[in-house]
Amino acid sequence: MSDLRNSRWFGATLALAWLVAVYLVLPMVIVLPVSVTDQRFLSLPHHAISFKHYTALVDNPVWLSSIWRSLLVAGISTVFTVTLGTLAAIGCWRIASRSSEIVRAVLLLPMIVPSIVHALGIYRMWINLDIIDSFFGVILAHTITGIPFVVIAVSAALSNFDVKLERASRNLGATMWQTMRWVILPNIVPGIGAGAVFAFVHSWDEIVVLLFIAGRKIYLLPRAIWDGVHENIDPTIASIATILIIVTLLVMLGERWWRSRSVAVET
Burial class (CB in 10 A: 0-12, 13-18, 19+), 209: buried
Choice from 103, 133, 161, 190 touching other proteins (CB under 8 A): 103
Asked if 160 touches other proteins (CB under 8 A), the answer is no
Question: What's the CA gap between 23 and 31, in Å, rounded?
Answer: 14
Site for other proteins in 31-60 (CB under 8 A): 31, 34, 41-44
Asked if 3 touches other proteins (CB under 8 A), the answer is yes
CB 150 within 8 A of CB 81: yes
Asked if 76 touches other proteins (CB under 8 A), the answer is no
Asked if 18 touches other proteins (CB under 8 A), the answer is yes
Binding piece for other proteins, criterion CB under 8 A, among 26-34, 49-57, 58-66, 185-193:
26-34
Binding piece for other proteins, criterion CB under 8 A, among 48-56, 57-65, 136-144, 185-193:
136-144
Choice from 108, 174, 187, 219 touching other proteins (CB under 8 A): 108
Question: What's the CA gap between 20 and 55, in Å, rounded?
Answer: 35
Angle between helices 221-231 and 189-205 (to 10 degrees): 40
Choice from 71, 76, 144, 174 touching other proteins (CB under 8 A): 144
Choice from 59, 62, 252, 257 touching other proteins (CB under 8 A): 252
The helix (run of H) or strand (run of E) holding residue 134 is none
